[in-house]
Structure 1
């Protein structure tokens, strides 16, 4: 078995540990600073649990002789964890959507003999893999649009939203500048702008700019596209309320207060859905053409337990990439972009199949 260490024992980190242990192919260590949280987790005894303050300098012994370290920690800790992985000489994977910390990971990857693979979740992550695959089908490219929503299936408040993942990550996406290509030029646009209406499988959503979802696509497609953007999908009306909170009440300047409001007032839910719409237009055989990948992935049973949609898509994404790395099917050294991963190989993987457009009943049984 390949030894792997997962840093962060929140909902996603614990799910990653459960998924990898279930395969029988990985010896899993789960690390978190909260010993009580580790003790409360309903996980197999064979998953080793280690209490360690991962915000501090990680001791070399923690990552010694590991095949890989997977960060499911808050994005603010990405730099330190990646640095520890580099010093230990182990493969590094993370889920961060934060643009600045990903640049630091890339710098650490220069000349490395192990792989540094950031942004292995849903967005960035799977949507980058899908968009790159669609783009390969064209003679020339015009636009690339990525839309993703992690939403409650049964919204009951004015925001139409429940907490389904990291509150800090959510706030960061709503505030930080967003990379894009506009009129053929790589640029930065404001978060919460670009409001549009769209539909997926008969449901109407709104979408607006948020930070981090494009991963490295802007760099990859600079000079090749007229338009490239990423927008988060929500139920109609969400953006207007968020603009009151962020701009009019100036809570963008007081993130800690916004965090407290969200965690106090917005309940979590296990009944959620992840909605994906990736669309690419360009020329094919001399004609303007469009290719679209759309998915609506609900919470469901997987590997013997009920999983939320955000657990399935996020944990499933990084576990699939780890499998492909272990199999030597993606680069094993240096900086690895999500678009370096073949969509067919990803979807054929035992975890990547979560994203397949297949019969949900069969998928839920883990077949």
Structure 2
């Protein structure tokens, strides 16, 4: 094959795969827009057809099995990274994929490169590769052996990372409903990846011409199952974000009511103590106890708000505004500083909640 045809095939396959997985991953974005779902579904179907057309048009082979194997390796090469991104999106809905997620998808290049090499071989070369695979002759086509094992290893690696991420989220959450949903997701991912294992890893260890022909077909139900799972993720992520926001609002109301009451008591007590000519140690102890109760309550709420990082700065600012407003009424100024360990753990509230305090 001429070098320009090789480059065209490589660029075309990578672009087609990116369209295919952009469509799948776009369906996992929490949105209620019907147009957006249709848009990403169209991208997915266009990418799949593009992959199929390229493998058929560039292949010089008559037999359909090598084409199926090439399609299977091409698409499933990205399933491992994609499943990990899928699980990460569900476990951390507030975090977008970003550049790091796009780089993760590059790990599927092993399958893409192996597909390109398969499609550029003529019939005699491919028959020699098949013979080497069947005889487990590692001395011939060493680079292809490396790509095939690397492709299988990365798939297993990302599946393992996905299981760890799901397990970590399962044991960290307290909501039984969310735990059931996580188990359902884990089951879906397990069934989907099982089909991929049959399609790609099983032929590596179980050699035979029938396995080489049948195994690639298992990637088709894996792709369909992953498509259904991603399309159903919208409702779950949206519900999880609503519940998280409701929990945050409830904790902030609790902080507003109880912490405000404790600090108001301390403020009124300080006003009362100002009217005395001298302050006894018991008076200072009483004032310190009132402040301590407020801080103890605050520390309890910090643990509940620790994961709500989006509230960090505004909450501290609101607390400062509250204290400054109360103390300036009696003509006093304060220099309010938080300890490092407290300041680093405090989440933020919204500006409105800070002003309300």
TM-score computed with the length of structure 2 as normaliser: 0.22
Identify the structure with the greater helix proportion: 2
Identify the structure with the greater strand proportion: 1
TM-score computed with the length of structure 1 as normaliser: 0.22
Report the structure number with the largest CA radius of gyration: 2
